[in-house]
Structure 1
């Protein structure tokens, strides 16, 4: 029975999401709220944590694998490895801390550098702590303009009130799924054109 269970789980589509952003912006709070429906205010990860959960995405059962990177990953090589393993990224900053918003540009550059061979990288810009409106330092217009410049979606969340928490994970999974689907089509297309070519070549030999 256990074998069957693990077999059925392994056949589910798996989407790998990486949480990226400065320390203290609420990456862990968002992850834990999505995973367990609980708000953890003071969570100081010393290392990256990985989570896996089965969810239903548009009627299809899939698995999401979330890597919550600790803000203090000082070693570029470690961070590069994390970025390499990811299929989609939630680029998180706190709306109460302008510095964390500025830092998103640097994180994005690193992702683009590591994923240089890929065309479009599934990525969402997330302004967290929207419940702290009175302490806002980053204007919605400013964040939205930056996201538009990068050609990505901007969403504000609150890990505390759970506002838009599911939305950012599900929207990102949809982008990952779309990318995988088009890549598979491309692969199949290339295969069939290769076969046609080799068939033509064989005909010429005859």
Structure 2
């Protein structure tokens, strides 16, 4: 972290993955952070991973939070919206309910709990490798993104298609938004929850960090 020679990175960003259970949020995160694929079991509570990247000549530390999609965890995950510069809303292109829930559930949560009014939203349609089973068209995804002011990509955690690009486009948009760069300089912070003290009772799964 930060030593006598200065910080090892220029900015630290907090990103959040949200969406219904089973859409592949954890698989997307695993593919991005370690370039591996696993059809993972549902996340319990909240988990997170770290990723160091260099983009536009700046060294960035990304703390990426993977939230549970099940309704019983909603009161737990709501606190993790605070301070996030970017939110990735994930749906499964083979399950229409995961798409409709974006506007009926997840965007409402972003509006309710996000503390950054300029927080960048990225809409991601996952599992395009199952194109024969697709029920949500790319055109529908584009229209949704335009309506709600989101970036948009379709991807596949299984084949790695567009996964890297998804995170890079989101982070680049954050870098291009000056209001989101405040308080992101490379200094020592509590990575688990930068805005408030860590409460182990409030964060099951937070101890599963893969650095």
TM-score for both structures, normalised by structure 2: 0.78
Q: How many residues align?
A: 181
Provide the C-alpha distance between the structure 1 equivalents of 2:152 and 2:45, rounded to a whole number of angstroms: 27
Give the match for residue 106 of structure 2: 107
Provide the C-alpha distance between the structure 2 equivalents of 1:118 and 1:8, rounded to a whole number of angstroms: 24
Give the match for residue 56 of structure 2: 58
TM-score for both structures, normalised by structure 1: 0.80
The CA deviation at 1:183 is 5.7
Query: What is the RMSD of the two structures over their aligned residues, measured on CA atoms?
Result: 2.2
Provide the C-alpha distance between the structure 1 equivalents of 2:87 and 2:174, rounded to a whole number of angstroms: 10
Give the unaligned 5+ runs of structure 2.
Answer: 183-211
Contact 1:73 1:79 survives alignment (8 Å):
no
The CA deviation at 1:12 is 2.9
Contact 1:55 1:61 survives alignment (8 Å):
yes
**Structure 2 CA distance for partners of 1:132 and 1:60, relative to 1, 3 Å:** same
Match of 1:62, SS state, is strand
Contact 1:89 1:122 survives alignment (8 Å):
yes
The CA deviation at 1:73 is 4.9
Match of 2:88, SS state, is strand
Contact 1:29 1:43 survives alignment (8 Å):
no
Find the structure with the greater CA-based Rg. 1
The CA deviation at 1:97 is 0.4
Give the unaligned 5+ runs of structure 1.
Answer: 186-206
Which aligned pairs between 1:72-83 and structure 2 lie closer than 5 A?
72-83=70-81
* 1:44 counterpart = 2:42: yes
Give the match for residue 127 of structure 1: 125
Match of 1:74, SS state, is helix
